[in-house]
Structure 1
Amino acid sequence: MGIEGRLMIDLRHSGDGTGRIAITSSRPLGLARAFVGRSADEAVLMLPMLFNVCAMAQGAAAAQACERALGIESDKTTDAVRRVLVLAETLREHLIRTVLDWPRFLGFEAGQSEMLAVMRPYEKLRRSLDPERRVLAIGGRARFDPASVLEAIEVLAQLVEAIIFGESLDAWRTRQSAEALTDWSEECATPSQRLVRTVLNRGWAEAGRATTQFLPHIEDGDLSALLLGDSAATFVAEPTWGGRPHETSALSRQADTALVRDVARMSGGNGLLTRIAARLVEVGCLPGVMRGLVEGVFRNEAGQPPTPAARERCGRGLAQVEAARGRLVHGVAIEDGIVRRYEVLAPTEWNFHADGAAAHGLAEIAGRQQDAREIADLFVTAVDPCVGYELRVH
């Protein structure tokens, strides 16, 4: 069982109408160091069990980092399958939050039948992609039946249409403006539509609006120097780039899409509605991205040579993987097949940095006289769908 810890978030409303927040964490940040002295194969096998949130992303990052440290080349099919596994996990996490959290925010009981409806096709897809459970091993090679994988993706796509959008994905993708999102929400047939309608009706669209810096692409070598350097513990606990904390989330990934841009324009920035819109856009595109990767393996990439192992220097490897909650980074140093150093940088530490995007957004919410708890609850899960937290409003 994983040991993820929790965030403790305190919101205080001041008499002058401003808000203050404090975020403390019980998240254990050095767990991966427990693998020092173990074989690389053992570390990759055990690490997803230790970090059970986003386990597929953790496993993919661990395998890739260790392969790079060992100079092992991965083939394009395996790379694609690992990516599809992570995307499927991302979709699962978004769907689970939708069927569990969003009804709760609206005052409804979360349905267990909807939860099962999410897990069954996800598990079928995972088994179809990796029947031998070897893809996430060091040097693993993918062997799967594309027809069964595409069938499982189609079932997930139909589920997304039914429980998220209440319409086909083709119809949803035509909604590229704030006005179109508003029109869609008026149907109130799904929890997603009802939530957007509630946010609009209660004047919450701008809640949590704050300036944020999205995490840019960082070269592996530059990031490795920080993650495996002498100040790694400080960097992992309070990461910054260029002297500033950055955000890595569904919003950072979808900020340039037409719908998210227009909602941000309409609501004046990266507030609550913009973040919900980004989550919806991501959910709507994931089945198609997964389908394209699977089809591409056999249409264009079959028989291609392995992907050269990217090595920062002998014995060191780094992997960056976009997980449901944001960019996950693993760094490892291996000598004679034994792990000598292992560090993990989770996206939560970027997003909930004391001076980061969530902190500034929650401070704006704390300054509100009404509905602060309800808005803050929704805001936290909109930033990070997987984080454990306790919210206290004073």
Structure 2
Amino acid sequence: MTSLDTLAGVVRLRPGQARPGSVLNNRPDWAGTLARGKLAAEVPGLLASLYSLCGHAHRLCSQMALRAAEQGAVDADAGAARALQLETLCEHARRIGLDWPGALSPAAAKDAALSLRCCPVLRSREADSRDTRLWLQRHLLGMPAADWLRCWEARPDWWADWSATGHGWLPALVRSARSAADWPVAAAEPLHVHAGTVSLRQLAACLRENPGYTRQPRWHDDCAETGSWTRLHDAARPMPTTPWQRLGARVAELVRLSQPDEPGRSGSGWLAFGALQIAPCEGLAWVEMARGLLVHHACLDGDGRVAAYRVLAPTEWNFHAEGAVAAALEGLRPAHGAFAQRRIAALMAAYDPCVRFEVETQALQEEGAHA
């Protein structure tokens, strides 16, 4: 284990092992330790640096949680919505262009890298959104982004049809990945705790009263999952049943975020975020970010310094020792190790932990030897 792993943590996967032994998530809980005693103004930048992979979402969530603790009401901010839209769009583009080829189809790596170099919004957040949509059409989708989104919304079989017939490196990658990625993974409950103030207050109580809650969270005594397929504005859509369908939801969100603003459907009107004062000097904030729902909980003392601070990230929901990924790994009984590794790669590309992961391959090697 490297020094970086010691600081950031590693998710360890043990395919074939019974839960809770199939996923070991040892991410340290640095937020509370580092934020305690700090002035409120110091904390957002500190946490953005600590969680640099998703730094913008953490900064926004921290700012809102602390503002709610200090002032109460937190008004909706059009500038924050726009920044969240663009940063999430960029994160999806990077993960699809950088991570997916390595995990799912190395043959696509060169074309994917060339596409990313042409992405207008990755070069400048001030890029014209029309240029970004044109980039999507030419480099990823092979058709106008608005048409792609309408088909996704209207036709349950669109992801399969597009990937089977589309031209370009991304449809080809999705086609080649389907044999390993299109396998049933039972979904946990979608995490919609931010749907109302009652549930948000209940979550704040869980965070305040249970010291280990941020490491192994449960909601209503059950596991939950979160991602681009569990958005509050998309709650009526059926949960995906395979990693392959979850990959489709990531592409669909990238397309949504490129579109003109429409509340509850696209652009800066798609991702939900907000904050709530739970009690004087106690605030809770939530942000739908690329990997799922992020929550920050802040308690201040009488001098405006942090008395307690908690961060509840998507990785802790999705890589819970009893959660959906753990169940999928528990039931993985492949005929040989190589195909199992491909299935695990697809599973991790879909759920996307924010830290490095390792696969303990002894069980797969033993099964392969006896196949």
Q: What TM-score does the superposition give when structure 1 sets the normalisation length?
A: 0.77
The one-letter code sitting in structure 2 at the alignment partner of 1:160 is L
- Determine the structure 2 residue equivalent to 1:285: 256
Q: How many residues align?
A: 340
d(CA) in 1 for partners of 2:19 and 2:279? 47
For residues 293-339 of structure 1, what are the alpha-carbon distances to aligned partners after superposition, in whole Å with 9 as ceiling and x for unaligned?
Answer: 9x999xxxxxxxxxx98421111111011111111110111122111
| CA drift at 1:290 | 4.9
- Which position in structure 2 is the counterpart of 1:134? none
Q: Which residue of 1 aligns with 2:45?
A: 45
Secondary structure at the aligned position of 1:285 is classed as: helix
Q: Residue 139 of structure 2 aligns with which residue?
A: 163
CA deviations 1:341-385 (Å, max 9, x no partner) are 111111110111011111112333x22225110111111120126
Which of the numbers 310, 320, 323 marks the counterpart of 1:356?
A: 323
Cα pair 2:31 2:309 within 8 Å, conserved: no
CA RMSD of aligned residues (A): 3.1
CA distance in 2, matches of 1:208, 1:162: 32
Q: 2 CA distance for matches of 1:236 and 1:353?
A: 11
- Whether 1:222 and 2:202 are equivalent positions in the alignment is yes
Residue 311 of structure 1 aligns to a residue whose secondary structure is strand
- The answer to whether the 8 A contact 2:19-2:322 is kept is no
Per the alignment, in what secondary structure is the counterpart of residue 242 of structure 1?
Answer: coil
Q: Secondary structure at the match of 1:228?
A: helix
Asked if 1:337 corresponds to 2:315, the answer is: no
Q: Give 1:1-394 correspondences, 5 Å limit.
A: 3-12=7-16, 22-71=22-71, 74-76=74-76, 79-104=77-102, 105-108=104-107, 110-111=109-110, 112-118=113-119, 121-122=121-122, 124-125=124-125, 128=126, 151-175=127-151, 176-200=154-178, 202=179, 204-205=181-182, 207-218=183-194, 219-229=199-209, 231-232=210-211, 234-253=212-231, 261=238, 270-288=241-259, 290=261, 310-335=276-301, 336-364=303-331, 366-370=332-336, 371-384=339-352, 386-393=354-361, 394=363
Q: Tell whether the 8 Å contact from 1:221 to 1:312 is kept in structure 2 after alignment.
A: yes
Task: For residue 213 of structure 1, report the CA deviation from its aligned partner.
Answer: 1.0
Percent identity at matched positions? 26
User: Which amino acid in 2 is paired with 1:339?
Assistant: V
Equivalent-residue separation in structure 1 for 2:296 and 2:188 (angstroms):
24
SS in 1 for 2:41: helix
Letter in 1 for 2:205: A
* Secondary structure of residue in 1 paired with 2:294: strand
Q: Post-superposition shift, 1:244?
A: 0.5
Specify every segment of 5 or more residues in structure 2 that has no aligned partner in the other structure, as ranges. 269-273, 364-371
Instruction: Say if 1:359 and 1:19 are closer, same or farther in 2 by CA, change over 3 A.
Output: closer
1:270-313, Cα deviation, whole Å (9 max, x unpaired): 112221221122122112265769x999xxxxxxxxxx984211
Unpaired runs of 5+ in structure 1?
A: 129-150, 298-307
Letter paired with 2:248: A
